[in-house]
Structures are given as structure tokens and as C-alpha cells.
Structure 1
Amino acid sequence: MPTRRRQQFVVGNLAWWLGALLVLSVLGSLSLELFFVVSLIGFLVVVELTAPFTVTPAWRRRLVWLVGIGLAVFGYIVVRRILEILPPGVI
């Protein structure tokens, strides 16, 4: 039986992902990288908004790994974009 916070977490993430998908497609800016970045921002917001005050359940402790992986992929995307902007021969 899922707890209320876990259910809020799942519903919040699904709503954010669907909203991001809708807004990006309406704006004509839908790409995998941009969707990932917007989804990561939403994921981090939902993680903080649904955080318990006293006891941290086991499923929330595992979110640290997802946040770390997400931030590593975000760093890779940022570095790749910076290298695309720089003129050849700088690095």
C-alpha cells in the first residue's frame, strides 16, 4: 500500500512530465535533451516538495542515486553544448 507522500511523488512527477511534454511540443522545442533537463528540474522540485519532516523512508533514500545520475547526465549535456559553441582549435 503506497503512502500518501509516495503517491504525491508519483502523481507530481507524472503531471510535470506530461506538462513539460505538452508545453515543449506546443512551442516546437521538443528534443530529448531539453525534455530531460526540464524533467530533471521538475523531479528535483517534486523530491523537495514531498520530503517528509521527520523519518525518511527507504524508498526516499534510493532517490539520492537517481538525483546523482540525473545530475551527471545534466553535466554531460552542458559540457557537450559548451564544446559545440566553442570554435574549433580552442581545446
Structure 2
Amino acid sequence: MPTQRRQRFIHGQLAWMLVTLVLLAALGAVSLETFFLISLLGFLIITELTAPLNVTPTWRKRLRWIIFAGLAVFGMFILRFLQRTLLPEVF
């Protein structure tokens, strides 16, 4: 049974992603990279805004792995961008 704080966290992340998708669609700038990066930014912000002060529940400790995975994918996007920008004749 999820706690109220966990539900608030999940609802906040889902709302952030939905608003992001709607705004990107309205601007005509929908791409996987853009959506992922803005969603990751929202995830990091919501993680910090909902962090408890005294005790860290076990489910919040597991968020660290999601953050590491998200940052690794972000790094891959950066490397892909640099390859396309600096070596355009190869790609």
C-alpha cells in the first residue's frame, strides 16, 4: 500500500510529464531527447522538493538508482549530440 507521500511524488511526476508533453506538442518540438531531458529535470526537482527532513524511507533510497540511470542516458544524449556536431561527415 503506497503511502501518501509516495503517491504525491508519483502524481507530481506524472503531472510534470503530462504538462511537458502537452507543451512540447503545442510548440511542435516533440522529440524523445527533449521529452526525456525535461522529464529528468522534473524528476530531480520533484525528488528534492518532496525529500523528508529526518528519516529517509527505503523507497526513496532506490530513487538514487533511477537518477544514476537517467544521468547515464543524459550523458549518452550529450555524446550523440557532440558526435553529430563535431563530426558531421561521419553521421
Fold match (TM-score > 0.5): yes
Aligned to 1:67: 67
Q: CA-to-partner distance for each residue in 1:58-81, whole Å, 9 max, x for gaps? A: 100000000000000000001110
What is the CA–CA distance in structure 1 between the aligned matches of 2:43 and 2:70, rounded to whole Å?
9
What is the CA–CA distance in structure 1 between the aligned matches of 2:88 and 2:78, rounded to whole Å?
17
CA drift of 1:5 comes to 1.4
Q: CA-to-partner distance for each residue in 1:38-86, whole Å, 9 max, x for gaps? A: 0000000010011011110010000000000000000000111011111
Aligned to 2:27: 27
- Equivalenced residue count is 89
Q: What amino acid is the match of 1:39? A: S
Q: Which runs of 4+ in 1 moved over 6 A?
A: none
1:80 aligned onto 2:80 = yes
What is the TM-score with the length of structure 1 in the denominator? 0.92
Q: Which has the higher contact order (CA 8 A, sep 6+)?
A: 1
Cα RMSD between the aligned structures? 1.2
What is the CA–CA distance in structure 1 between the aligned matches of 2:53 and 2:4, rounded to whole Å?
14
Return 5+ residue gaps in structure 2 as ranges: none
What is the TM-score with the length of structure 2 in the denominator? 0.92
Return 5+ residue gaps in structure 1 as ranges: none
